[in-house]
C-alpha cells in the first residue's frame, strides 16, 4: 500500500453497512433485554465510558483498514474504539443468533456484549466489519452487563493477532482500550466477585456471522428471514458461488464444511484448544472466533480443556475438537434444511468435512515431521506411536516438535544420549524418563530417521519443519504475566508479547523467555492453567 492511501483518522473510512440495509431490523428501539423476533439485528449505541486509554493496537489490522499508524495514536481513536462516539458512516447494532451450548439448545443468545460499528470497505475493495466487545448492554445481554474486563480483553486482543501470524484462520483485533471504569466479575463463579479494570477490544473480520444466526431463525420458523440471511451471506461473503438457489445453498454448505475442517487442522497443528466450541462460536467463514477460556497444549494431553465449566465432561478437549466441529456442522445442516429440503446433499457435505479433515491432518503431520508426503502405509503407525509416546510423560508439544527439527539424521548409529539430546528441553519432569520410556522413544526415533532417509535428500527439512512448528505461542502464563502488569498500569509486556508473536516461527534474539516451557509456579495458578467463561 502506498503512503497516499494511508488514512489519517477514522473519519476517512468508507462504510457500506450492507448488513443493516438488506436485512430486517428490530422494530423495538429500546435497549431492553428481551426476545427479539422477526429481525436479524437491533440498533443499539455503545455505552459511553469515563476515560478511554489505548493499551495497544495492531499495525497490521490498521494497515488492512488503510489507517496510518498515527491515526491509531490519537485521542479520537481511543474515544471511538471505546464506544464514546461514532465516526462518520458508522451504524451501531447488535445481531440476533441462537446456538447449542455444551450440546444443549440454548435458544436466543445474540451479541450480548458485542456492538457492531459497521462494515468498512478498504482501498482493495475488501469488506471489514468492525465490532466492539465490552461496549455495554444490548437487547441480547440477558442478565449480564455487556462489559468486559482487562484480563479477558488482553487475552482476546493478543490471541486474535497471535493466531493470524501462526497462519490460523481467525478474526482479527484492531485495538485494546481501557475504559477508566471498574467492572465487577466473579472469575470462577465461586461467590467471590471483585472489581476489575474495564476494557474494550475492537474486533475486525469480513463477517461475524455464526452458525447460530441461521439456527435461531430456523428454530423459530422464521423461514423467510432464514432465506434472506442465507441469500445475503452468499451474495456478500461467497459471491463466487453465484446467485442463491437450492443448488447454490448446497455448494455453500459444502464450502462451510471445507473451511471449518481446514481451520480445525490448523488448531490441531499448533496445539490450540478453543475451550467453548458452542455453535454460536462457529464462524460460517471458517474463522476462529470468540477467544474466551482458550489455551495451548503445554504437556501433550488430548483430554485437556482450558475451560473450568467443561472440566467434568471435557466436551471441548483438544482431542475432541474435530468431532465437535462435525457435530456443530450437523446442527447448521438441520437449520438450513428448510432451504434445501433434501437430506442427502447435506450429508454428502458433512462427508466432505471428514474427508477434508483427514487429508489435511495427514498433510499437516507430514509437514510437522519434515516428510515430503504422508504415506499411509508407514506414517499412520509412525504418527500414532508418536502421539502415544508424547502422553506417557509430560512432554511440551510446542518444544518437542520444534526441537525435533534439530535431530541429526546423518548418524544412524548414534548412541541414545546423543540421539535424544535435542529433545531434553521439551520434558517437564526429567525423573519420568524411565529406561522403559527411553527404550520406546529410541525405537520411535530410529524408525523416524529411517523414514526420513526413505524420503531421500531433504536439505530443507529443518527449515520446512520450523515453518510449521512455532517457537512462540501465547501460553496462558505469558498472557497472565502481561495481564498482571497491565492491571498495574504497565502496558509494556502486552506490547512486547504482541511484537514477539508477530514472528512465531523465527528465533528472536533476547526473547528466550517467551519460548520456554511453562514454569512450575504456573502449573495450577488461576489464569495460567484453566479459566472460566468470564476469563
Q: Which residues are catalytic?
A: 280
Spatial CA neighbour of 153 closest among 205, 199, 208, 204: 199
Three-state secondary structure call for residue 348: helix
Residue found by looking up cell 451504524 in the block: 91
Three-state secondary structure call for residue 110: coil
Work out the number of other CB atoms within 10 angstroms of the CB of residue 516: 13
Exposed e or buried b for every residue in 293-327, given b needs 16+ CB within 10 A? bbbbbbbbbbebbbbbbbeeeebbbbbbbbebbbe
Q: How many helices (H) and strands (E) does the chain have?
A: 16, 11
Residues β-bridged to residue 199: 178
Count of CA atoms in the C-beta half-sphere (13 A) of 513: 9
CA dihedral 150, 152, 158, 162 (to 10 degrees): 180
Three-state secondary structure call for residue 19: helix
Three-state secondary structure call for residue 204: strand
**Does residue 190 come out as left (phi exceeding 0), alpha (psi in the -120 to 50 range) or beta?**
alpha
Contact call for residues 530 and 307 (beta carbons, < 8 A): yes
Spatial CA neighbour of 324 closest among 268, 389, 242: 268
Contact call for residues 109 and 156 (beta carbons, < 8 A): no
Beta strands in 49-165 (DSSP E): 53-57, 93-95, 98-101, 104-108, 114-121, 127-133
Contact call for residues 97 and 109 (beta carbons, < 8 A): yes
* Cα-Cα-Cα-Cα dihedral sign, residues 184, 135, 233, 274: negative
Contact call for residues 248 and 242 (beta carbons, < 8 A): yes
Amino acid at each position: 500500500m502506498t503512503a497516499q492511501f494511508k488514512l489519517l483518522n477514522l473519519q476517512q473510512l468508507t462504510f457500506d453497512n450492507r448488513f443493516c440495509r438488506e436485512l430486517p431490523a428490530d422494530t423495538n428501539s429500546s435497549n431492553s433485554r428481551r426476545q427479539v423476533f422477526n429481525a436479524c439485528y437491533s440498533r443499539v449505541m455503545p455505552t459511553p465510558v469515563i476515560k478511554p486509554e489505548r493499551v495497544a493496537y495492531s499495525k497490521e489490522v490498521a494497515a488492512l483498514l488503510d489507517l496510518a499508524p498515527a491515526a491509531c495514536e490519537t485521542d479520537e481513536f481511543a474515544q471511538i474504539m471505546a464506544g464514546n462516539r461514532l465516526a462518520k458512516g458508522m451504524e451501531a447494532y447488535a445481531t440476533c443468533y441462537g446456538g447449542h451450548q455444551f450440546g444443549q439448545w440454548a435458544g436466543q443468545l445474540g451479541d450480548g456484549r458485542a456492538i457492531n460499528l459497521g462494515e468498512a470497505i478498504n482501498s482493495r475493495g475488501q469488506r471489514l466489519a468492525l465490532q466492539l466487545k465490552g461496549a455495554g448492554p444490548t437487547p441480547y445481554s440477558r442478565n449480564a452487563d455487556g462489559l468486559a474486563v482487562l484480563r479477558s480483553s488482553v487475552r482476546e486482543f493478543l490471541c486474535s493477532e497471535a493466531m493470524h501470524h501462526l497462519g490460523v484462520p481467525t478474526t482479527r483485533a484492531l485495538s485494546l482500550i481501557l475504559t477508566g471504569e471498574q467492572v465487577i466479575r466473579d472469575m470462577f463463579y465461586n461467590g467471590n466477585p471483585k472489581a476489575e479494570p474495564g476494557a474494550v477490544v475492537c474486533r475486525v473480520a469480513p463477517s461475524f456471522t455464526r452458525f447460530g444466526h441461521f439456527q435461531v431463525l430456523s428454530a423459530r420458523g422464521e423461514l423467510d428471514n432464514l432465506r434472506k440471511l442465507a441469500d445475503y451471506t452468499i451474495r456478500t461473503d461467497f459471491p463466487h458461488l453465484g446467485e442463491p438457489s437450492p443448488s447454490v445453498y448446497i455448494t455453500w454448505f459444502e464450502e462451510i464444511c471445507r473451511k471449518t475442517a481446514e481451520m480445525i487442522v490448523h488448531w490441531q497443528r499448533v496445539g490450540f484448544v478453543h475451550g467453548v466450541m458452542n455453535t454460536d462460536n462457529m464462524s460460517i467463514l471458517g474463522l476462529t472466533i470468540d477467544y474466551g477460556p482458550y489455551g495451548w497444549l503445554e504437556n501433550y494431553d488430548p483430554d485437556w480443556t482450558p475451560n473450568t465449566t467443561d472440566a467434568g465432561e471435557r466436551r471441548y478437549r483438544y482431542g475432541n475438537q474435530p468431532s465437535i466441529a462435525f457435530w456443530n456442522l450437523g446442527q447448521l445442516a438441520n437449520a438450513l434444511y428448510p432451504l434445501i429440503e433434501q437430506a442427502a446433499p447435506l450429508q454428502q457435505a458433512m462427508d466432505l468435512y471428514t474427508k477434508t479433515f483427514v487429508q489435511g491432518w495427514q498433510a499437516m503431520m507430514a509437514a510437522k515431521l519434515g516428510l515430503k508426503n504422508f504415506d499411509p502405509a508407514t506414517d499412520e503407525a509412525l504418527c500414532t506411536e508418536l502421539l502415544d509416546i508424547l502422553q506417557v510423560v509430560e512432554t511440551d508439544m510446542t518444544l518437542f516438535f520444534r526441537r525435533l527439527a534439530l535431530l541429526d539424521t546423518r548418524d544412524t548409529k548414534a548412541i541414545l544420549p546423543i540421539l535424544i539430546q535435542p529433545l531434553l528441553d521439551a520434558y517437564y519432569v526429567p525423573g519420568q524418563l524411565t529406561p522403559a520410556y527411553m527404550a520406546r522413544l529410541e525405537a520411535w526415533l530410529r524408525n523416524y530417521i529411517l523414514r526420513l532417509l526413505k524420503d531421500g535428500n531433504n536439505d530443507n527439512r529443518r527449515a520446512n519443519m520450523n515453518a510449521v512448528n512455532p517457537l512462540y505461542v501465547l501460553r496462558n502464563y505469558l498472557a497472565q504475566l502481561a495481564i498482571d502488569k497491565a492491571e498495574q498500569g504497565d502496558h509494556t509486556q502486552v506490547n512486547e508479547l504482541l511484537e514477539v508473536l508477530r514472528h512465531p516461527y523465527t528465533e528472536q534474539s533476547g526473547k528466550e523467555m517467551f519460548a520456554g516451557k511453562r514454569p512450575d509456579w504456573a502449573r495450577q495458578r488461576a489464569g495460567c492453567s484453566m479459566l472460566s467463561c468470564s476469563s
